[in-house]
Structure 1
Amino acid sequence: MDTDVLVVGEALIDIVAGDDGADRELVGGSPANVAVGLARQGHATRLLTRIGRDERGRRIATQIEESGARVDERSFTDAPTSTARARLRPDGSAEYEFAIDWAVPAADARDLAGVRAVHTGSIALFLEPGGTAVLDTLRAAAAAGAIVSVDPNIRPALVGDHAGALARFGEAVASADLVKLSDEDARWLYPDLDDEEVLTRIAELGPALVVITRGGEGLLARGAHGVVAAAPYVVTVADTIGAGDAAMASLVSSVLDDPRVLPEAYALETALRRAAVMAGITVSRAGANPPTRAEVDARLG
């Protein structure tokens, strides 16, 4: 299968404590969630990650491949599969404790041949030794003419000091066409700026499109024609795990489907609405379980 989108980043097991005190284990990791979301939107997607040859790793690989994506053969290691223990706050949002091993090779010219888009972010961008390889992959993808997307998905316990993380984020963004971050990411990276100022600051680093997801307040974006807002898709929230990843997958999918999303305001508004619907469907069910293209189309009418 040819690769339309290469996603580089962590895949792990989210361990979530249930109301009854029993743990549930769900396949997660922001880049892995994006890969699943893109595959469910009909894009040929390959995930370069790091998972163990253990039961958890096999479960991750099976779920990703059942979604229609493919796990790169270089992703497997003899180390244990990484985990993230998620605790849900009263509002349905999650906080995490990580046990993660991250070492991944940089993509080479063979990996990028025929690839139209490359996505990365989250732990993969900041945690060494894999972080430097991921940054090299973004630069190679940009040089090859692929669409590059980045989602910092900040995990304060893992990204190091603020100055270093901000510098790494800036290096990644310099290669990107599309950047998506949450309002929490924005506050951590740029604590003295409001959302519109954050959009401007990041856009000045080079991306054609910058989007902030704001939970129940929807999305705010800065594109070629200024700032555009999109309302949320209102649902009953089960939990918020995977919501931002679903929005990210939708945005990448929209740019692949219609390159006018980057230069034209109307196409961007349509893409933001679609991202809001995809995120909304995801939060209406437990875990990171993004919808198919048919499900999104049905909600859009």
Structure 2
Amino acid sequence: MTNRFVFVVGEALIDVIVRPGGTDEVPGGSPANVARGLARLGVPTALLTSIGDDDHGRLVLRHLTGAGVDVLPASVHHGRTATATATVDASGDARYVFDIDWDIETAAIPDGAAVVHTGSIAAFLEPGAGKVRALLRDLRGRATLTFDPNVRPAILGTDPAPARATFEAVASLVDVVKLSAEDAGWLYPGRPLDAVAEHIAGAGPRLVAVTRAAAGSTLHAPGHVVRIGPAAVDVVDTVGAGDSYMAGLILGLLETPPAALDRLGAVAAAAASYTVSRRGAELPRYRDLETD
């Protein structure tokens, strides 16, 4: 691996999508999607996750390694692979049920990563979440640390206060936080998005990116805010858009001086734009990005 490689730690699972017309099983998990997105963008990427040695685990492994992700051997354990079941009714609304036990083996992690990324369930669900925080503390100053909470209320419950405390503890350890307007609204109900971003930035990150769906995104750095307009594409669906944005943002961090917020935002937005213009979580390759 080169010194541009990215190390991702977080969940990989199977999304079981139950619709009136049938059931589909698709590999997913936000950190795993980010790892796959980075690999498709040509970035050497290693992933530490937790999957079983069952059929679901083998499906996830093929999905990731086929895209070029180096899935660390410690990621595979004896037992079942986590699932997220989304039951979609005739109106398109989905109800989610998660079957996941999150823990990781951190004894053998790769050295020399330029960026280390985590997020989603991996940052909140114990006992693995505590190990993720310990890993981030150990890697501070040795890599650029990035975090996307990708909030899952079906796991976190109805009271945002405990999850908010965990979120802020992780945010205080990292350099870059990316979150969606939905994440911000759940974690900080009633607070304006810009105020949320400023609050998070006050915890220590040097960059906070907020995705705002059809309103584009904003990037907040000390004394500087850049607003990126909405994508000029026909939106097919938004599945995977946040993970694609995160992968594009990390690519931008590898290629762009951190102060160049407009360029960082443009690369991330281009990746997300590609994904929303296609059905499902189809992530771009480098040649698909248009950032002029």
TM range (shorter): over 0.9
Alpha-carbon distance change, 241 to 66 in structure 1, aligned in 2, over 3 angstroms: same
**Aligned-partner Cα distance in 2 for 1:175–1:219:** 23
Taking only the aligned residue pairs, the percentage that are identical comes to 43
Question: Normalising to structure 2: TM-score of the pair?
Answer: 0.93
Deviations 1:129-180 (A, max 9, x none): 111001111111114x200000011111212542221111111111111100
Partner of residue 164, structure 1: 162
Cα displacement (A) at 1:2:
5.4
Report the residue type matching 2:126 in the other structure. E
CA-based RMSD of the aligned residues comes to: 2.0
Do 1:10 and 1:29's aligned partners in 2 also have CA atoms closer than 8 Å? yes
- The alignment status of 1:138 with 2:131, answered yes or no, reads no
Partner of residue 9, structure 1: 10
Cα displacement (A) at 1:235:
2.6
**Aligned-partner Cα distance in 1 for 2:103–2:46:** 17
Partner of residue 291, structure 2: 300
Cα displacement (A) at 1:228:
1.2
**Aligned-partner Cα distance in 1 for 2:154–2:145:** 26
- Aligned partner (choices 271, 275, 281) of residue 274 of structure 2: 281
Cα displacement (A) at 1:98:
1.1
Do 2:171 and 2:200's aligned partners in 1 also have CA atoms closer than 8 Å? yes
Cα displacement (A) at 1:241:
1.6
User: Which stretch shows the higher mean deviation, 216-225 or 175-184?
Assistant: 216-225
Partner of residue 41, structure 1: 41
Q: Give the 5 Å matches for 1:96-175.
A: 96-106=96-106, 111-143=109-141, 145-160=142-157, 161-175=159-173
Alpha-carbon distance change, 68 to 95 in structure 1, aligned in 2, over 3 angstroms: farther
Report the residue type matching 1:300 in the other structure. T
**Aligned-partner Cα distance in 1 for 2:69–2:95:** 27
**Aligned-partner Cα distance in 1 for 2:198–2:93:** 27
Cα displacement (A) at 1:195:
0.7
- The alignment status of 1:243 with 2:241, answered yes or no, reads yes
Find the residue that maps to 1:133 and give its secondary structure: helix
Deviations 1:90-115 (A, max 9, x none): 99786532111211123x5x624211
Find the residue that maps to 2:244 and give its secondary structure: helix
- The alignment status of 1:74 with 2:74, answered yes or no, reads yes
Report the residue type matching 1:120 in the other structure. T
Alpha-carbon distance change, 84 to 162 in structure 1, aligned in 2, over 3 angstroms: same
Structure 1 runs (4+) deviating above 3 angstroms are 87-95
Cα displacement (A) at 1:74:
0.4
Find the residue that maps to 1:10 and give its secondary structure: coil
**Aligned-partner Cα distance in 1 for 2:89–2:252:** 32
Q: How many residue pairs end up in the alignment? A: 290
Question: Normalising to structure 1: TM-score of the pair?
Answer: 0.90
Cα displacement (A) at 1:87:
4.6
Report the residue type matching 1:295 in the other structure. D
Gaps of 5+ in 1: none
**Aligned-partner Cα distance in 2 for 1:240–1:159:** 23
**Aligned-partner Cα distance in 1 for 2:124–2:51:** 18
Alpha-carbon distance change, 150 to 88 in structure 1, aligned in 2, over 3 angstroms: farther
